[in-house]
């Protein structure tokens, strides 16, 4: 066989091998569809899913974990009612809703709604690491003005903006964390108050009003699955993705009080954090959180994110509204745990 022919056969063989590798390596990335970014910057593959430090460490958290508040960052601009928080290498992102006309409950449901739509303005605040406001991005359309819990996938910040009432509608936005360009990804026919990006599948997962239901979509908005929340302990408000195909959520439940404790108007705020498996849809771990803000809210009331450095956990929360207590403060809690065996 001639040298020229041998080289030709080897070249074809190499091309076939590379093509096969590319198909296998980018299948999940292609699920991203038109996201306005190069596939070379999208990593939904298994290789990016090797880090399990946060999942492992959170499995060591229980109701006796010794959380210590280690810092408090006061935000010196109007923040209204805070909802979700996310961190990129260059920015802190915080969602909030500014109510201009409160919703009003109907005596009986009308047209499938239990209340009027109200009016408001949805904000995505962009800050530097010191909490200085860099940009105020207004999100929403018409009755959809309520931004919720958010997630940063390494490139984009995903933001749901819904009507401020259950069984309504929402817009899913994608915001480039570097350029801050806003892209309306798709609309959904329910109130979704939180969202995460599953990096393994390249799909989005959202939670409805009170986190009673979850839905999974591709990036064109096609619903792929839906399931009821198996947990009634906490209404999740803000979630984040955790390798491999898990989500970590925090939230609050308002419990009525006895007459001695002030009656039903003096509700008790029970906070909690839970980890959910996105493949089996099962609850992995669920723990209460019993720390309180300057205004007296449970710390997991709304914005929440957690990181792990080995067995050391760091939690960032912002439970207070701009007109409460000392205004909105980003609180940092830390704890060292013994991972479950």
pLDDT digits (tens, 9 = 90+) for 88-137: 999 999 999 999 999 999 999 999 999 999 999 999 999 999 999 999 99
In DSSP terms, 264 is beta-bridged to none
Question: Topology of domain 53-336, per CATH?
Answer: Tachylectin-2; Chain A (2.115.10)
**256 and 264 in contact (C-beta within 8 Å)?**
yes
Query: Could you give phi then psi for residue 8, rounded to 5 degrees?
Result: -65, -45
Sheet holding 329-336: strands in order across? 68-74, 329-336, 312-317, 304-309
Q: Where are the beta strands (DSSP E) in 33-178?
A: 68-74, 81-87, 92-101, 105-110, 113-115, 119-127, 133-139, 144-147, 151-152, 156-163, 170-176
- In angstroms, the CA 71 to CA 83 distance is 20
Six-digit token string for 120 = 């408001």
**87 and 316 in contact (C-beta within 8 Å)?**
yes
The pLDDT value given to residue 50? 52
The pLDDT value given to residue 1? 46
The pLDDT value given to residue 33? 40
Low-confidence residues of the chain: pLDDT under 70:
1-51, 341
- In angstroms, the CA 154 to CA 240 distance is 12
**233 and 272 in contact (C-beta within 8 Å)?**
yes
The pLDDT value given to residue 341? 62
Look up the pTM and report it: 0.86
In DSSP terms, 241 is beta-bridged to 247
Six-digit token string for 157 = 């910040």
The three-class DSSP label of residue 217 is: strand
Q: Domain spans of the chain?
A: 53-336
The pLDDT value given to residue 15? 36
The pLDDT value given to residue 44? 28
pLDDT digits (tens, 9 = 90+) for 254-293: 999 999 988 888 889 999 999 999 999 999 999 999 999 9
Q: What percent of the chain is modeled with pLDDT above 70?
A: 84
**84 and 100 in contact (C-beta within 8 Å)?**
no
The pLDDT value given to residue 27? 32
Query: Could you give phi then psi for residue 65, rounded to 5 degrees?
Result: -60, 135
Task: Tell me the H-state helices in 36-187.
Answer: 53-58
The pLDDT value given to residue 225? 97
């Amino acid at each position: 066989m001639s040298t020229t022919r041998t080289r030709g056969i080897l070249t074809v063989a190499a091309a076939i091998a590379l093509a096969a590798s590319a198909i296998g390596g980018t299948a999940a990335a292609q699920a991203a569809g038109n996201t306005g970014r190069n596939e070379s910057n999208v990593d939904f593959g298994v290789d990016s899913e090797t880090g399990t430090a946060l999942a492992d460490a959170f499995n060591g958290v229980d109701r006796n974990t010794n959380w210590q508040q280690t810092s408090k960052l006061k935000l010196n601009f109007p923040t209204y009612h805070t909802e979700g928080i996310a961190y990129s290498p260059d920015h802190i992102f915080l969602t909030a809703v500014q109510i201009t006309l409160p919703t009003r409950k109907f005596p009986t449901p009308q047209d499938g709604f239990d209340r009027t739509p109200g009016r408001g303005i949805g904000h995505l605040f962009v800050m530097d690491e010191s909490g200085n406001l860099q940009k105020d991005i207004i999100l929403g359309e018409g009755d959809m003005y309520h931004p919720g819990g958010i997630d940063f996938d390494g490139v984009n910040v995903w933001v749901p903006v819904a009507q401020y009432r259950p069984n309504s509608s929402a817009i899913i936005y994608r915001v480039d964390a570097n350029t801050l360009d806003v892209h309306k990804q798709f609309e959904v026919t329910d109130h979704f108050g939180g969202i995460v990006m599953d990096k393994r599948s390249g799909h989005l997962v959202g939670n409805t009003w009170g986190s009673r239901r979850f839905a999974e979509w591709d990036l064109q908005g096609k619903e792929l699955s839906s399931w009821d929340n198996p947990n009634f302990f906490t209404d999740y408000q803000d979630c984040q993705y955790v390798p491999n195909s898990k989500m970590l959520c925090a939230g609050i439940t308002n419990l009525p009080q006895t007459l001695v404790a002030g009656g039903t108007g003096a509700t008790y705020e029970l906070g909690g954090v839970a980890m959910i498996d996105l493949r089996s849809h099962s609850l992995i771990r669920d723990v209460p959180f019993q720390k309180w803000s300057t205004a007296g809210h449970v710390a997991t009331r709304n914005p929440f994110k957690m990181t792990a450095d080995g067995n050391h956990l760091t939690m960032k929360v912002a439970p207070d509204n701009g007109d409460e207590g000392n205004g909105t403060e980003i609180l940092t809690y830390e704890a060292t745990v013994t991972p479950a065996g």
